[in-house]
Structure 1
Amino acid sequence: MDWVESAGGPLLAAPATQLARWEGATDDEDDDAPVETWGDYGRACAVDGYIGLVGIGGAQGLVLGDEPATTTYLPEERLFLRWAAAESETELVHAAREAVRGVEWEEELDWDVDGAVVLFDSAWPGATPEPGNHLKIDLAPGRYRVRAAHTRDDRNWMILVQLQPVP
Structure 2
Amino acid sequence: MVRYADPGAVEWVESGGGPLIAVPETVLPFWAGADGDETASDYDRACEVDGPVGLLPVGDSAALVFGDEPASTSYLPDHGTFVRWCAADSEEELLARVPAALATAEWGQEVRWKVPGTVVLFDSAWPGQETERTEHLRVALEPGAYAVRAAQVQPGPETWLGLVQLRCLPH
Q: TM-score, normalised by structure 2?
A: 0.89
| Structure 1 equivalent of residue 159 of structure 2 | 156
How high is the sequence identity, in percent, across the aligned residues? 52
Q: CA deviation at 1:155?
A: 2.1
For the residue of structure 1 that corresponds to 2:152, the secondary structure is: strand
For the residue of structure 1 that corresponds to 2:28, the secondary structure is: helix
Q: CA deviation at 1:27?
A: 7.0
What CA distance in whole angstroms lies between the structure 2 residues aligned with 1:22 and 1:142?
A: 21
| Structure 2 equivalent of residue 64 of structure 1 | 66
| Deviation >3 Å, runs of 4+ | none
What CA distance in whole angstroms lies between the structure 2 residues aligned with 1:145 and 1:58?
A: 19
Number of residue pairs matched by the alignment = 160
Q: CA deviation at 1:132?
A: 4.9
Correspondence 1:82-121 to 2 at 5 A: 82-121=84-123
Correspondence 1:5-154 to 2 at 5 A: 5-26=14-35, 37-129=39-131, 131-152=133-154, 153-154=156-157
Bigger CA drift: 14-23 or 152-161?
152-161
Q: CA deviation at 1:107?
A: 3.0
Q: TM-score, normalised by structure 1?
A: 0.91
Deviation track 1:120-164 (CA, whole Å, cap 9, x = no partner) reads 000000001163510000000000000100111212101100000
What CA distance in whole angstroms lies between the structure 1 residues aligned with 2:132 and 2:44?
A: 18
Q: CA deviation at 1:97?
A: 2.2
Q: CA deviation at 1:28?
A: 6.4
* Structure 2 gap ranges (5+): 1-9
What CA distance in whole angstroms lies between the structure 2 residues aligned with 1:158 and 1:165?
A: 23
Letter in 2 for 1:158: L
